[in-house]
Amino acid sequence: MSGDNSQDLTIPGICEGYLLKRRKWPLKGWHKRYFVLETGILRYSKTQQDITRGKLHGSLDVGLAVMSINKKSNRIDLDAGDVLYHMKANSHDLFYIWVAKLSAHRMFKKNEAAQVHNGFFQALSQGTSVPGLAQRNGMQDVVSPLTVSGNESRRTPSVTDSAAEYFDASDGVLNGSFSESESGLSEGTTSNSEPEEGHGEHTYTRSTPNCVVPKNTGRRTTLAAHCPDNAQVGLMQILYNNIGKDLSRVSMPAALNEPINLMQRLCEELEYSELLDTANNTQDPYQRMVYVGAFAISGYATAHYRNRYKPFNPLLGETYECLREDKGFRYISEQVCHHPPISACHADSDNFSFWQDQRWKNKFWGKSLEIMPTGMVNVTLPRFGDHYEWNKVVTCIHNVLSQQRYLEHYGEVIIRNLNGNACTCKITFVKSRYWGSDTNKNEVQGTVLDQTGSVIHRFGGLWHEGIFCDTLPTPQCIWKPNSQPKDYYLYYGFSSFTLELNELTPGLKPLLPPTDSRLRPDQRMLEDGRVDDCDKFKEEVEDMQRERRKQLAKKGQEHTPRFFKKAMDSSGRDVWLTNGTYWKVRENPGFANTKNLELW
C-alpha cells in the first residue's frame, strides 16, 4: 500500500460529548444526549455512563449519511435514508468541532469503501483472492477538528454513487464559502427523526382477509397513456440545490408529476366514505369512534403505491368538484392561498359532513423527503350531533434517489369529539425499525379511551392491508382496501377511485366552472402522454399566475377565494370553511352565466 493510501485510511480521532437532539416522534423539542463518533460510526445514549455500559439508544454510519448544516442555529442534520438525526450544539465553537470531525470520519469511511472496492477489482484482474484492508493498528492520529482539509472535489452527484451526498461540511463551511441559503433549515418544522425505541406490546397479525373487489361504477378503468419513465430526469440536481428547503415552492419537471393535483388528493381520502356511513348508523359511541378511526387510517392506503410521482400544485383560485351519487356524497375544493399553499375542501352527504384545509411542508434532507401536513380534519355525524376533529401524521419517502425507495407514515393521530367527551381515540402509525426486519412495516395501532383513560376498544393492522378490531361484540375486520386495478403500476399506481377523479365526460363539462382541475390543460396533457407539451404549458401557466399576483400587489389587493371563507375554530386557529355557494351557483344560474377567473 502506498504512503498516500495509508494517509487516506488514517483513522480520525474520537469525538464525544453532549449535543442537543430532536426528540423522537410524536414528541417535540430537543433533549440532551451523549454522542460518541469513532471509526465513522456515530453512537448516542442518554448519558456517558450509559455509553460505557453499552446501553445505546441508536447508531449511524456517517459514511452512508448526507450531512447538511445551519451555522446560524448551530444545527447538524444527518440523513442515512432509513434514519434521520437532527442535532444542535450549545456553542458555535462546539458546532465547528463536530462539523469538522463528522467530515473527517465521513471521508475516512468513503476512502475505506473505495479501498475495498479497488482491492476487489484488482484481485479479480489478477485472479487472486480479495485482500482485506491493511492492518491499521497504531495508525490512529488525532486530526485537528479545525484543520480538516477542504479540498475534496466538488461535483454533481450520481445516482450510482455508493454514498450520495449533496453537501459536505468540509467542502466549504470551514473555508467560509458556505451559503446560508443552501441549508434553509427551518427551526419551526416538526421532523420525526428515527424509530421509537419501544412501542406497545399489543401487536396485530399481518394476515388480513382478501382485498375487496370494487364495484363497477361505469367509469373509466385506465388512462389514455402510461406514466412516463422519469429515471433520466435530473431529480438529483434539483434536490441537491434545495436540501432543507420547502419543496412546495420548487417547480418540478412534468415527468415527475402525476395527472392529479393536491385538491384531488384530498378527495381520495373519501374513497372509503362508507365507514362514515356506518359510523352514523352505530348507536354505541365507542364503536362509532372505532369506525371514525378506521376512516382516518383508510385515507393513507393509496400512498403505498405512489412513491414515484408527485401531484400538481393547484393554481390560486383553481377548483375541483366530485359528485359521487354511487357513494352518496358531493365534494368541492378550492386553492384559497398560494403562499403558503392552502387547499380547502368540503364534502357532505346524508350521513356526514367532511372538511379540512391543508398546508404541506416538504423537506428534503439528502436521502429522505418528509411531507408534513398541518391543519385539522373535521367530520360531523348528523344523527348524533358528533363533531370529530383530528390531525394528520408525517409521510416520509426514504431513499428518494434510488430504485429502492419506500414510503411510510409515522406519528400519532388524536381524534376528539368536540360535542361530547364520552371517548377519544389515539392512533399510532409505527415507524419501522431501520435495524430490524419488516415485521412492523406499515403497522398502525389504535385505542378508544373513555373519560377515565381506560381502554374500551383496540384495533390495528397495516394501513395498506386492513384494520381488525377484536374488542367489538363480534371481532371483525372493519376495513380493508379495494384491490388495485389491472396494470395499476403503468398508471401511476392509481386506485380505481383515483383513476376516475380526473375523468371528463361530455355531460359533465358544461356544468363545471372553467377553473375546475379537469379543464387544466397541462395536467390533461400529462394524462394523455404529451409530456413535452405539458412542460411548456406548465411554465406558461405558472408565469400567468405570477403576473396575476403582481397586478393584485400593484393595486394593493389580495386574492379573495370564491367558495370558501376564512374563519376561526374553537381553538383559535385560522380555518377555511365553505360559504355554501358552489352548488347553488352550479344549479342556477350555472357557471357559464357567471364571471369566472381565467387561470389558463
SS (H, E, C) 465-476: CEEEECCCCCCE
- Residue 239 pLDDT level (bands cut at 50, 70, 90): low
DSSP 189-229: -----S--S---S----S--PPPBPPP--SS-SS-SSPPP-
All 3 cell numbers of residue 308? Answer: 414515484
Please state which of the ranges 20-34, 375-389, 427-441 shows the lowest mean pLDDT: 427-441
Alpha helices in 217-337 (DSSP H): 235-240, 262-268, 274-279, 285-298
Residue range 559-579, pLDDT digits in tens = 999 999 999 998 899 999 999
Indicate whether 54 pLDDT > 80.
yes
**pLDDT given for residue 420 in this prediction:** 93
What does pLDDT average to over the chain?
Answer: 81
339 vs 427, higher pLDDT: 427
CA angle 380, 382, 388 (to 5 degrees): 20
Residue range 532-554, pLDDT digits in tens = 999 999 999 999 999 999 999 99
Indicate whether 50 pLDDT > 50.
yes
Phi/psi zone of residue 411: left (φ > 0), alpha (ψ -120 to 50 degrees), beta? left
**pLDDT given for residue 241 in this prediction:** 63
Indicate whether 4 pLDDT > 90.
no
All 3 cell numbers of residue 291? Answer: 369506525
Indicate whether 141 pLDDT > 90.
no
- Residue 256 pLDDT level (bands cut at 50, 70, 90): confident
- Residue 494 pLDDT level (bands cut at 50, 70, 90): very high
Q: What percent of the chain has pLDDT over 90?
A: 53
- Residue 507 pLDDT level (bands cut at 50, 70, 90): very high
H-helix or E-strand spanning residue 456? strand 455-462
**pLDDT given for residue 203 in this prediction:** 39
**pLDDT given for residue 450 in this prediction:** 96
Widest CA span in the chain: 87
Q: What percent of the chain has pLDDT over 70?
A: 76
Indicate whether 178 pLDDT > 60.
no
Mean pLDDT confidence for 237-252: 63
Indicate whether 470 pLDDT > 60.
yes
- Residue 153 pLDDT level (bands cut at 50, 70, 90): very low
Q: Where do the DSSP E strands lie in 313-440?
A: 319-324, 329-337, 342-349, 353-364, 369-374, 377-381, 386-390, 394-398, 406-417, 423-429
**pLDDT given for residue 249 in this prediction:** 61
Mean pLDDT confidence for 292-301: 97
